[in-house]
Every structure is written in structure tokens, then in C-alpha cells.
Structure 1
Amino acid sequence: MFTYVNGQVIPNSEVRISPFDHGFLYGVGVFETFRTYDGRPFLLGEHLNRLNQSLQELHIDLQVAREEMLDILAQLEEANGWRDAYIRFNVSAGEGDIGLQTAPYQKPNVIVFQKKLAPAGPMTEKRGVWLETRRNRPEGESRLKSHHYLNNIFGKREAGSDPSIEGIFLTEDEFVAEGVVSNMFWIEKGTLYTPALQTGILGGVTRRFVMDIARDTGLRVEEGLYTPAEAEAADEVFVTNSIQEIVPLRALGEKTFPGAAGEAVQLLFKQYRSAVRQ
């Protein structure tokens, strides 16, 4: 298997970074995860915009052009032979002296990982569990998709290794936040609800896209501060991320839901897959 590192596609066994990289030492780095469908990256422009905005906020002196990203993906596809794949586009600050740095990082490390995925199949289900681990507050004004992932790791440890279970964080004030690796949604009486960004959640690319297609299908969309009881009172519940797409929950806490049989989630999933094909 091959990975892209600073202009070269090399075997995974040869990938190296300096221990003085501030992405390693201090967590100064960001990444985007998305998938390719038959060689086509989905929502690439949205992921690219978020990546470049995050790089600017971290004072990492790099802006990635769409053409550059497409060229990197083409190189990886040629090397690995995978047209359906998970992509992690990672940028770390690069090498620096020991100690916190205020000057911009001018020589970042760009590492793009690819992992083979099966062609997109039918919608899957999960069971949601409320976590005792609370969602931490963002390090800055808003949450970045950064190297600082300890809160997610602690949440995943609590939820366990079963891939059919998604742990759901609450905020310190006990409002619904997001999943360990997902954004959270539920539907009740024709309205799609999702926690607001002010809860400290990641502004997911797939989250925004699902809100858009929900409006197109006639659903009202509302963001806000919600309690677990409000989520459990819903008709349907689901989570989203760029790799797993739309994943309905068959249960949340002690409450059961229609899961993949839900009418609204089926409609949204159909619209999502239609966009992928286009």
C-alpha cells in the first residue's frame, strides 16, 4: 500500500516524520476525511474549503488548490488501484524548535492516506448510547478537525469496540452534542433537529449537506440546544459522517426507533445517494 508524503507517493513502510514536527509535539495540525466513489471524491470543494480555513486559523502557511488535491488523489489511485476509498488528507505544522511557536509554520508536512472501501452498499444501522464522558469545549472559537483527539478517544473507549454502537456525547451542561465520529440528527413531526454549533460540535461537511437535502425534501430544519429526553421523543434518529454517510439508530438509550425502516431517513438516504451518483 502507498501513501502520499510531501510530493511523493511511497510505500507505507517508508513513511516518516520528524519527532520535532509540532503536529506530533503539540497537536498543531488538521485533517479532512472523505471518500471516493468509483474514483470521484464526494463534496471535495466543501472539504477543501474547511481544510484551508483551518490551516489559516492555525497559522500554517499552506493553501491547497482543488487541482493539487485531485492530482494527489489520482496518484494514489494509480499506485493502490482503489477507486472506492477512504481518504485522510492530513497537514501537520512541520518541524520546529522545542517550545510553543507564535510565528507562522512555513514548511508543513502534507500526508494523504488512502484505505480501500467496498463499493457503497445499503444503509446500515447502529445503536446509540449516551456517554458519561462529556464533550470538551473547543480549543478556540470553534472546533477544528485537528490532531487533538483525546476527548473522542475517551468517548470511544467508553462506548467500546463494537462498530455497531455509536457513543453520543452530551455537553458539560447536559445538552446533546454529537457522536464520537459523527453528527447527530432526529426527526419529529416533519422537522429535522440537530444540535447547534454553539454546543461545541464539529461543523461537519456531511452535516451541512444533509441539512440542505432535508430542506429540499420539504423538512423543516432546526438547530438548537436539546436534552436527551427531547432526542428520545423523536420519530427517527440518525447520525452522519463522510465515510459512513447516513446511519439510522435502531435504539438510543432505552428507546427503540425504526432504524433503516424509517420513512424520512430512507428519503434522505435516497437523496444522498442520488447526489453521489451525480
Structure 2
Amino acid sequence: MTQAAVAECYYVNGRWVRPEQAVVPVEDRGFQLGDGLYEVIRVYAGQPFALDRHLARLERCAAAIELALPAGRDELAALAAEAIRRRGLLEGQVYMQVTRGVAARVHHFPADAQPSLIVYAMPGRIPDPALYERGATAIVVPDERWLRCDIKSINLLPNALAKEKARRAGVLEALLEREGKGITEGSSSNVFIVQGGRLITAPAGPYILRGVTRDLVIELAHAAGVPVEERFFSRAELLAADEAFLTSTMMEVMPLVQVDGHTIGTGVPGPLTRRLHAALRQLTPSVS
């Protein structure tokens, strides 16, 4: 961070406040029911990356749950930029959350609730650069989530349970396997495998969150002439893959070299993984 940080760096429903003032009412539906959405936007060189894509996804998800956003795309973009400025942030993330608002506890949508909006910037959890050189490890766990994984809901309990299993196993990620489908995604990432020079990843739809980085990597692969198949793949296909990697806003393109104790490919980050990560990095702002 730079020295320009401002104490009032949390935006809460129309006001910039100090951290200790950034509180949630007890009857906020996000707090009680998980009735809300969020976005995490990566910051490079003080600039929000792929912001329009993130805000477009927020709008799509809001429409899916019939939640009226309290601000338009231009205003949300301005709030993200202001959050970065107030925090004096060069590298990190912007967190943006919208809930249906405060109302007496009922399960149906209250008629009089006003949506709540929170925006703030923070350094974020940027992976150790050495991890990209040696590659990450993962385990496979059952996918126990609901059938609208395409909605970026703040209700993340199944994801948290899976991530805790990964932590206890001493690995970076838990890969989710849905009965009758195969590997869907990670607890906080999308998953790709490489077979014979082509990429394979689970299709967009209700079983995965369509990641911004996932979409960018697919576009970069197409531009480079790399075939892409959007289909589910089995755990056996994953273990037999030439390469595998994870994508997410904070991880970018993370090589995956071991799953459930089995070595993937040669056990080191593969050439196509490295190539796509380098291509993604070319799109990101850098400090001049």
C-alpha cells in the first residue's frame, strides 16, 4: 500500500466509514439468510482488472434472484475506484457485496426492504510466486452444493466446508465432484485439464460459477489456436491428464501438479499452463 490511505475506507450504504463503523444490522437478510451476492475484483497497479466483466456478472446474478441493484454499473465502477484510492492500494482486491436489505425475518421477499451495498478494497490473498514454479496440490471431494452454482451467492457454507477439508489435507484446493457429472470446479476456482494439446473444462451452466478468469483463459486459448472443450471430465481423466490448472481472480492461472496424492503429467507446471498464464498476465495493468 502507499501512504495515501484514508481512514474512512469502507463504503456502506451511501457513506464512507472507518473499519469499526462498517457494521451489518442484525436483521440484514444477507446476515440471517445469505440473501445476497458478491464480487471480488483483482487490483493491479492501482487499477481494477476486468471490472466491466465482474459488474456484468453481478447484474446477471441480481436478475436471477430478482434483486434490484442499488447502483448502476457506472456508479459501482466509480465506487470501486474510490475504494482503491482511499485504501492507497496498488495490489490486492476490491470486495463488493449486495444484499436484499434489512427487514423483519421472513423467508419470502419483503416488500419494503432496501438493498444494502458494501464496497471496500484490501491487500487480498495473493499466492506466493514460488507456488507457480512448483505447482499446487489438491484433493477431490463430493460436490454438495445447490443447483444454482452459476449465482455468486454470499451463502458459501458448502465451499467453506470443502476448503477446510483441503486445509486439513495440507493442499491448496478441494476439487468438487458431482455424482453423474464429474469434476465441476474447485471450492474457489475453476478447473482445467490438458489432454493432447486441448483444454477441457466444465461447461457454463448451473453446476459452476462462470469465472471471469475462466472466460479470459478460454478466449486466450481460442486466440492462440488451442482447442477448447467445455464438458465435464472424470476424476480418472484428471489424474491421467497431461497438465491441469486452476483459474480464479486471485490465483490467475495456478498449475496443478498433484491430486489425491497422484502426480499430474510430469509433476511440474506444464508448457500450456505457463503459456496461458503468461498471456493472461499480458492483459493486466503494470506499474510503469
CA separation of 1:27 and 1:46: change in aligned 2, threshold 3 A: same
1:44 aligns with 2:51: yes
Alignment check: 8 A CA contact 2:138 2:166 kept:
no
Show the counterpart of 2:72: 65
Amino acid at match of 1:130: V
Show the counterpart of 1:137: 146
Post-superposition shift, 1:166? 1.0
- Alpha-carbon distance between aligned partners in 2 of 1:224 and 1:206, rounded to the nearest angstrom: 17
> Residues 75-154 of structure 1: matches in 2 within 5 Å?
75-102=82-109, 107-117=114-124, 122=129, 124=132, 125-131=135-141, 133-138=142-147, 140=148, 143-154=150-161
- Alpha-carbon distance between aligned partners in 1 of 2:125 and 2:232, rounded to the nearest angstrom: 37
Alignment check: 8 A CA contact 2:183 2:234 kept:
yes
CA separation of 1:66 and 1:259: change in aligned 2, threshold 3 A: farther
> Residues 16-27 of structure 1: matches in 2 within 5 Å?
16-27=23-34
Alignment partner for residue 33 of structure 1, among 40, 54, 78? 40
Post-superposition shift, 1:86? 1.2
Identity, % of aligned positions: 27
Amino acid at match of 2:265: F
Alignment check: 8 A CA contact 1:169 1:180 kept:
yes
Q: Write out per-residue CA displacement over residues 64-104 of structure 1, whole angstroms, 9 at most, x where no aligned residue.
A: 43321232123222322112121111001101122122456
Query: Comparing 192-201 with 31-40, which one deviates more in the overlay?
Result: 192-201
Post-superposition shift, 1:173? 2.5
- Alpha-carbon distance between aligned partners in 2 of 1:222 and 1:41, rounded to the nearest angstrom: 30
1:7 aligns with 2:17: no
Normalising by structure 2, what TM-score?
0.87
Amino acid at match of 1:168: L
Query: Comparing 1-10 with 176-185, which one deviates more in the overlay?
Result: 1-10
Tell me, which stretches of 5 or more residues in structure 2 are unaligned? 1-6
- Alpha-carbon distance between aligned partners in 2 of 1:178 and 1:22, rounded to the nearest angstrom: 28
SS of the equivalent of 2:284 reads helix
1:256 aligns with 2:260: no
Normalising by structure 1, what TM-score?
0.90
CA separation of 1:16 and 1:201: change in aligned 2, threshold 3 A: same
| Structural RMSD (CA) | 2.4
Q: Write out per-residue CA displacement over residues 85-131 of structure 1, whole angstroms, 9 at most, x where no aligned residue.
A: 21111001101122122456751110113211598985723102112
Amino acid at match of 1:134: D
CA separation of 1:161 and 1:93: change in aligned 2, threshold 3 A: farther
- Alpha-carbon distance between aligned partners in 2 of 1:173 and 1:113, rounded to the nearest angstrom: 40
Amino acid at match of 2:143: R
Show the counterpart of 2:4: none
Tell me, which stretches of 5 or more residues in structure 1 are unaligned? none
Count of residue pairs the alignment pairs up: 275
Alignment partner for residue 246 of structure 2, among 233, 236, 239? 239
